[in-house]
Amino acid sequence: MTTGNAAPTATQRIVVQTTMLDKRAIVAKAKKLDIPISELMRRGAFAYQSDESDDALGALADAAKGAAERSAHAIDDALDFIALSNKRIATMEAKAVKVAATSTRKVVEQTTPRSARVSQRKAA
């Protein structure tokens, strides 16, 4: 154990089995970072996250995907409802135009003298 501000001295050795290619890559990375191989290996070991965090991220991704799919279905349902509603509105508007035209024709017939109506029909 160390006291004060002195850095701890490494006193234990851990042997790591690796392929020749992996060893070359590790040595190259340590040289590039300008740190000893043992420091690179320690940092790598401490930075490693267990599969539990990967599982948690996977579960979160699955939940997000499910929410996105539910949202897409809700949007599709809303768009279908809007399309049907627009169709109903168009039908009602067309009916209203017909009713208005019929009403206008009846008013014109009621207010136009019979002789004028007969002469309008003959002219047509």
Tokens of 100: 């208005």
pTM (predicted TM-score): 0.41
What mean pLDDT is predicted for residues 25-35? 95
Residue type, 80: D
Q: Residue 26 — left, alpha, or beta (φ > 0 → left; ψ -120 to 50 → alpha)?
A: alpha
pLDDT recorded at residue 1:
46
Residue 5 — pLDDT band, cuts 50, 70, 90? low
Q: What is the mean pLDDT of residues 43-51?
A: 82
Residues 56-81: pLDDT tens digits? 888 899 999 999 999 999 999 999 99
Output the CA angle 21-26-28, nearest 5 degrees. Answer: 95
CA atoms of 91 and 105, how far apart (whole Å): 21
User: Average pLDDT for residues 43-54, to the nearest whole number?
Assistant: 80
The closest of 33, 54, 52 to 42, measured between CA atoms, is 33
